[in-house]
Amino acid sequence: MTGELPGEAVRALSRARSLVALTGAGVSEESGIPTFRGGDGFWKGVRPEDLASPEGFARDPAMVWAWYASRVSAIRAARPNPAHDTLARLERRMRVTVVTQNVDGLHRDAGSATVLELHGSIRRVRCHRQGCRDGDGRFPDLPDGDDPPRCRCGERLRPDVVWFGEMLPEGILDAAGEALRGADIVLVAGTSSVVYPAAALPLAALEAGIPVLEVNPEETPLTPLATWSVRGLAGRVLPALREAADAEPGAS
């Protein structure tokens, strides 16, 4: 960890009864899952819309399926890291809502009870036909090179994630907004804060007078606006924050 922990942020966390944590790919980086925009990120040297849009899927379903299948096997082998564990542990002392852009399911694996997955889950598949639920299920293991599977209705199955140009899961932004309104503090960890609508959530919190603490090894567009911003890895800074908050006199 490079940055000092801001004392005021530690005190705010120690007094908080309710926390919203907005997380992004950086939180899973220490579990061995690449981010999107980093030097070795998923989007390096590719056109994201070829792999993550309905149009890309229509053009080359086998390539899109193969890319998600390789991510699924990497994710199945991954374990939560101390950043995920810390958010789960914080539930012992306050209400915690995790609002995540990650599709890897590691927050649930760590034991977080309330996780709003803004961009869906890569562990599930669904039918590509709007409104059909016949294909809902676990992402299947298929031999390499096999055609992407079909739903019972005949349409293709696809990962249950949000692609560019698609709506977020119904009701999820309302649920995130409601959690935000009741939050004493908002923690934003491991996101480049460039993808909307997720990036708007901390801005709404700041507008409502709720303090926002950012944790990221790099500056982001949120950095100058956040109440506090700590440069460092989530897997180190989050446990340190929790320990420091626990050590505050009169911590709740």
- Give the interface segment with ligand OAD, choosing from 29-37, 61-69, 138-146, 152-160 (CB under 6 A): 29-37
Nearest CA to 175 among 90, 120, 112, 97?
97
- Could you give the string, one character per residue 44-63, with x where binding to ligand OAD holds by CB under 6 A and - elsewhere? ----x---x-----------
Distances (CA, A) of 108 to 131, 149, 235: 26, 27, 16
Q: How far is the CB of 24 from ligand OAD (least distance, A)?
A: 3
Instruction: Please report which helix (H) or strand (E) contains residue 229, including its range.
Output: strand 228-230
How many angstroms separate the CA atoms of 242 and 238, rounded?
6
In sequence order, what DSSP letters do the residues of 66-128 get, joined into one string? HHHHHHHHHHHH----HHHHHHHHHTTTSEEEEEE---S-HHHHHT-S-EEETTEEEEEEEES
Closest residue to ligand OAD, based on beta-carbon distance: 26
Phi, psi torsion values for 56, nearest 5 degrees:
-60, -40
- Give the interface segment with ligand OAD, choosing from 84-92, 140-148, 149-157, 230-238 (CB under 6 A): 230-238
How many angstroms separate the CA atoms of 118 and 240, rounded?
27
Q: How far is the CB of 28 from ligand OAD (least distance, A)?
A: 8
Amino acid (one-letter) located at 143? P
Nearest CA to 136 among 149, 151, 120?
151
Segment 141-200, which members bind ligand OAD (CB under 6 A)? Answer: 162, 189-192, 195
Q: Which two tokens stand for residue 141?
A: 């293991």
Instruction: Using the minimum distance from each CB to ligand OAD, give the nearer residue, 4 or 144.
Output: 4
Segment 79-98, which members bind ligand OAD (CB under 6 A)? Answer: none
Q: How far is the CB of 205 from ligand OAD (least distance, A)?
A: 17
Q: Which two tokens stand for residue 17?
A: 């009864």
- Could you give the string, one character per residue 103-132, with x where binding to ligand OAD holds by CB under 6 A and - elsewhere? ----------------x-------------
User: Of the candidates 216, 222, 228, 241, which one interacts with ligand OAD according to CB under 6 A?
Assistant: 216
Residue 128 annotated as catalytic: no
Options 84, 107, 119, 128, the catalytic residue: 119
Q: Which residues belong to the active site?
A: 119
Which residues are at the interface with ligand OAD (CB under 6 A)? Answer: 24-26, 29-30, 35-38, 41, 48, 52, 101, 119, 162, 189-192, 195, 215-218, 220, 233-235
